[in-house]
Chains A and B, each alone.
Chain A
Amino acid sequence: MLAESYTAVIARGEDWTDGSATEPYEASWAREAAISLRRLEAAPSSGAASARVQVSLDGLHWVDEGTVVAIPSEVDTVTLARITGFPGYLRLVADMADGDTAFMLATLSLKG
């Protein structure tokens, strides 16, 4: 049988600032996830911007998974990270300079 796969758009045109988090996404069936980020609009930047991958057993209590994905500084540039061995839930948390914003597309490509 072919492996299952599903791509979930977990941020579909959302304005991120420092500390913004995506909604919890449950994927206990998946063995691996590719996480991609794309900036949809140009915006001034005063510092580095990235998203931390967080994982959770229950969707309520979160820990850093250890993977960090850069938020592209240029429109239509894509960044990508791959993770495996996660428990049930995934989300992204933005780390940005105070006052910076990013209009974002974030996707999870899951396989199991």
Chain B
Amino acid sequence: MNRHAIDPVPREMDLSRFDPLSRIMFYDDFNHGMSGWTILTGNYTGSLRNMHPGYRQFTPPMLSNLTQWDGGTHGGLSGSYALKLATRPNAGAQTVSLKRLTYPKACTMQVEAFFTFKPEATELELSDHDVRSFGFVLDIQNAQYRVLPQIRYLNALDGTLANRWQYKPRTREFDDVGDRTVTLYHYGEENWVDIPGGSQTLCYNEIPTKINWHYFRLGFDIRTLRYTELQCNDLVLDLSGLETLKFDAMPNLSNLFNIIPFVETDSRKRAFLYFDSILLSGDW
């Protein structure tokens, strides 16, 4: 499990495939544990029944070695294991995982990752329309505002390939769940907008049991509450002109910085999102 305990050199070499800002907050390659990635618990009071149904559907993340029934173990890009998010098997089902921290100083923060996604291989078909989307949400609060930068790669919608990046500039209203607690389900299908120039065909491969790793990068400036750039492999998009979900600051969330990858299925198959590695850096 812990190859770095034996030889630390490969872990340092792993970093050269990233382009981090000046300080690295964390680097998780999932070959030595979950590293703080967890299930998202929606706000509730009294009973778990009172959690918003959107949050109740969420499943716990896993460590996967990407074993397929026909090909055996795929493994990660580095080492044997990857972080795995898996939805339930009904069209539109979503799941997320998150890592919760706070930012030490307002600055540009940048998430980088090597990822892949696939539908569950329940049919001997291409199945490239079966995953609806995957993406990232950042949950950030400064002294004045809470913002939820939210981008996704829309792979397919209602059975039609879309193959483009989108962002969400606005959302719905908060729901009250009692005892001064509110909840907001902001992962829904509403209000997604295409990012200009954001069309991109990723490497799905030719059957659902083969995977290929992709590079991802997303930056956000906490000082201006603006995106910086989105990159996926050789596509680089300037997001600095885009709006983001924005609310008045809320109690008990000073310097909040949560990172929330998500995936959703477009079919009656589970959608899987895998991360070989995730790196967060900043320029503070």
Interfacial residues, chain A to chain B (CB-CB below 8 A):
1, 4, 6, 8-10, 12-13, 23-29, 40-41, 57-61, 88, 103, 105, 112
In the assembly, what is the distance between CA of A6 and CA of B33, in Å? 8
Task: Please give, as numbers and ranges, the residues of chain B lying within 8 Å of A112 by CB-CB distance.
Answer: 1
Which residue of A9, A59, A60, A61 contacts B60 across the interface (Cβ within 8 Å)? A9
Query: Which of B16-24, B81-89, B109-117, B224-232 forms contacts with chain A?
Result: B81-89
A13's contact among B33, B51, B64, B86, by CB below 8 Å, is which? B51
Question: For residue A88, which residues in chain B have a CB less than 8 angstroms away from its CB?
Answer: 65, 67
Across the interface, name the chain B residue whose C-beta is closest to A7.
Answer: B60
B86: contacting residue among A6, A9, A24, A103, CB under 8 A = A24
Q: Say yes or no: A9 contacts B1, CB within 8 Å.
A: no
Could you write out 21 A-B pairs with CB less than 8 Å apart?
A4-B32, A6-B33, A9-B39, A10-B59, A12-B39, A13-B47, A13-B49, A23-B88, A24-B270, A25-B62, A26-B64, A26-B86, A28-B67, A29-B1, A29-B65, A29-B81, A60-B69, A61-B69, A103-B49, A105-B48, A112-B1
Which A residues are CB-close (under 8 A) to B5?
1
Tell whether, in the assembled complex, residue A25 and residue B47 are in contact, meaning their CB atoms are under 8 Å apart: no
Contact residues in B for A28 (Cβ distance below 8 Å): 63-65, 67
Pairwise interchain contact A4-B86, C-beta atoms closer than 8 A: no
Q: B68: CB under 8 A from chain A? A: yes
- Please list the residues of chain B having a beta carbon within 8 angstroms of any beta carbon in chain A: 1-2, 5, 32-34, 39, 41, 47-49, 51, 56, 59-60, 62-65, 67-69, 81, 84, 86, 88, 120-122, 270
- Inter-chain contact B81/A58, CB cutoff 8 Å: no
* Contact A27:B60 (CB < 8 A) given known A4-B32, A13-B48: no
Instruction: Name the one of A8, A13, A60 contacting B56, with C-beta atoms under 8 angstroms.
Output: A13
Residue of A nearest to B209 (CB): A58
B63: chain A residues at CB < 8 Å are: 6, 26-29
Q: Known A-B contacts: A13-B47, A27-B62, A112-B1. Give 14 more (CB < 8 A).
A: A6-B33, A6-B34, A9-B60, A13-B48, A13-B49, A13-B56, A24-B270, A25-B60, A26-B63, A29-B1, A58-B69, A60-B121, A60-B122, A103-B49
The reply to whether A26 and B47 form a contact with Cβ atoms under 8 Å apart is no
Chain B residue at minimum C-beta to C-beta distance from A61: B69
Provide the residues of chain A in CB contact with B51, threshold 8 Å.
Answer: 13
Which residues of B are found within 8 Å of A9, using beta-carbon distances? 39, 60
